[in-house]
A and B are shown apart, each in its own frame.
Chain A
């Protein structure tokens, strides 16, 4: 339990651990949370981890924890840290194992009343169309140059192969591709793990969710995004699958071996890092970019599969599914930010955190059966959080503990009573993702809204949840 007496209140939703707390802290640690949420965050090692991050070379302004923060590996999940491009480091632990795990939102031409009689059919159709669960492989098995093309060009490559609608790429963060990617820096094992996983969801907290717009908070913002009340939406949450995990494993191992050569010592091996400008730093960044491209290609192919499922169920209605936006929440980006009186290029690490540039859609999925939110990034986010927001509800209970709380059949019934159809490949996996295992999404989102980081536009509620 972190000693809360050392945490100073800086604003209604902003708290700070000053540099005086521990020798070696180069910047303070800032936490965006309500008072009640802060007490919860202080229970695990999140804040200790945030203090460790504040000690890394080249870190700028502050290490940040978002309201959904919880203990991760090295960096807390729900963390943001930015490092000077020239003098700072890059750390795989600051991005996470599931590189470019992220969320995509589609809006449809259908409304809730129209699809209500077809929810079970739709759930089955998506469950059949999108491989999910442990060991399920995808329809596209790519190797060699074909796979390298995906690693190099991400969603762009999927568009070339015919798996994207015309405007899709315009509505993906970074256009769905990081051009710094170098497939030659992705290992044999990583490519072997990913070669048959394109278009697959995975398991755990990954899902495809059909929902509807339940509440609109900002009429102008909603109109900008093409969202209307009762409109049917689709959320897709997944990442780079085994390929991204292997890239992270490979480079944490390399950096653990080579860190000492750069004169870097860290209190936690999962904070392994290298100067961004070094050979190791650049190699990881380019491999990370390739894994990020794989994730965008993955979400693009899943979008294609979901569009087919809708066409199969609602054929005569000819439904359209348009991309609202796609955000990454485990990634590092080189971005210009204001530091002092000038601008500097920084390596912004977002681990369980979403970019929230002014006017950019911010997608925050809740836990299964709860709500999700669409927000718009605000100008203040650039100053407060390197243009970053939270990414979800944040886990608060171990998987083992969830089994003690509820059985799968009871959970199915409880969600069904709320009008939610579940198609899950695993009963155990379902219980592990029960709503009570996560923080309250409304509280989490209210913090980033109240702090001026991102503005609420709409609240979505689920109708059909498909998961592994």
Chain B
């Protein structure tokens, strides 16, 4: 997976990338799940979750999406293995998450922050962002 965890004074920083905006968002979601360190699967049943996220710009959309994912992970103990996006209007994403119920998590990632984050298209087929998480 392209995402990378890098040092930050108080919390955790993740650099993620993708060949498109949706690929970047996909990488960021799976990176967030990985940072939470799911400790195993409970039962055989999978989970699917449909959520909608609306934000005024692409950067806010990414952070708001990750916070929505974290909220569901914390409250339902779900770990997601795949995510599909459908932009139903500018800045409005319909998100389909699939995964499983986790036994627990090894890390308490509390929130994705807007600290120094900026979604950038670095050239054709290259999108990137670095997100700081409060833990």
Chain A residues, Cβ within 8 Å of B49: none
In the docked arrangement, what's the CA distance between A202 and B117, Å? 27
Q: Among A203, A242, A270, which residue has its beta carbon within 8 angstroms of that of B74? A: A242
Residues facing B in A161-213 (CB within 8 A) are 189, 192-193, 202-204
In the complex, the answer to whether A135 meets B9 with C-beta atoms within 8 Å is no
Q: Say yes or no: B135 contacts A97, CB within 8 Å.
A: no
Q: Which residue of B10, B75, B104 contacts A70 across the interface (Cβ within 8 Å)?
A: B10
**Are A204 and B135 closer than 8 Å at their CB atoms?**
yes
In the bound complex, do residue A256 and residue B105 qualify as a contact, i.e. CB atoms below 8 Å apart?
A: no
For A71, give its contact among B9, B71, B108, B114 (CB under 8 Å).
Answer: B9
Chain A residue nearest in CB terms to B77? A135
Chain B residues within an 8 Å CB radius of A246: 71, 111
Give the top 8 A-B pairs by smallest Cβ distance, nearest first: A269-B114, A400-B7, A192-B75, A398-B7, A245-B110, A189-B71, A134-B108, A73-B115
Report how far A207 CA is from B48 CA in the complex, Å: 37
Please tell me if the beta carbons of A249 and B115 are within 8 angstroms of each other in the complex: no
A253 to B55, CA, bound (A): 9
Find the A residue at minimum CB distance from B132: A73
**Taking beta carbons and an 8 Å cutoff, which residues of A are in contact with B?**
44, 70-74, 77, 97, 134-135, 189, 192-193, 202-204, 242, 245-246, 248-249, 252-253, 256-257, 268-270, 272, 395-401
A97 to B132, CA, bound (A): 13
Inter-subunit contact B105/A395 (CB<8 Å): no
| Cβ 8 A contact of A270, one of B7, B8, B59, B115 | B115
- Residue B106 CB within 8 A of the other chain: yes
Query: B interface vs A, CB < 8 Å?
Result: 6-12, 55-56, 59-60, 64, 67, 71, 74-75, 104-108, 110-111, 113-115, 117, 132, 134-135
Asked whether A73 and B113 contact (CB < 8 A) given A97-B134, A398-B8, A399-B7, the answer is yes
CB closest residue in chain A, given B112: A249
Is there contact, CB below 8 Å, between B74 and A134?
Answer: no
From B105, B106, B114, give the contact of A252 (CB < 8 A).
Answer: B114
A256 adjacent to B56 (CB under 8 Å) = yes
Partner of A395 from B9, B60, B67 at Cβ < 8 Å: B9
Q: Give the shortest distance, in Å, between B44 (CB) and chain A (any CB).
A: 22
State how many angstroms separate the Cβ of B61 from the closest Cβ of chain A.
Answer: 11
Q: How far is the CB of B18 from chain A (nearest CB, A)?
A: 22
Q: Is A44's CB under 8 angstroms from B104's CB?
A: no
Residue in B9, B106, B114, B134 whose beta carbon sits within 8 Å of that of A397 in the complex: B9
Q: How far is the CA of A269 from the CA of B117 in the complex (A)?
A: 9
Instruction: Select A97's contact among B55, B105, B110, beta carbons within 8 Å.
Output: B110
Extra contacts besides A189-B75, A245-B111, A398-B7 (12): CB < 8 Å: A72-B10, A134-B107, A135-B105, A192-B75, A242-B110, A245-B134, A268-B114, A269-B59, A395-B9, A396-B9, A399-B10, A399-B12
B36 and chain A: residue at smallest CB distance: A134
Chain B contacts for A202, CB-based, 8 A: 108
Chain A contacts of B7 at CB under 8 A?
398-401
Residues of A within 8 A of B107 (CB): 134
Shortest A13–chain B CB gap in Å is 24
Give the residues in chain A near B106, CB-CB below 8 Å.
134
- Give the distance in Å from the alpha carbon of A74 to the alpha carbon of B6 in the complex: 20
Asked if B75 contacts A203 (CB within 8 A), the reply is no
CA distance A351 to B81 in the complex (A): 37
Q: Are A77 and B74 neighbours in the complex by a CB distance under 8 Å?
A: no
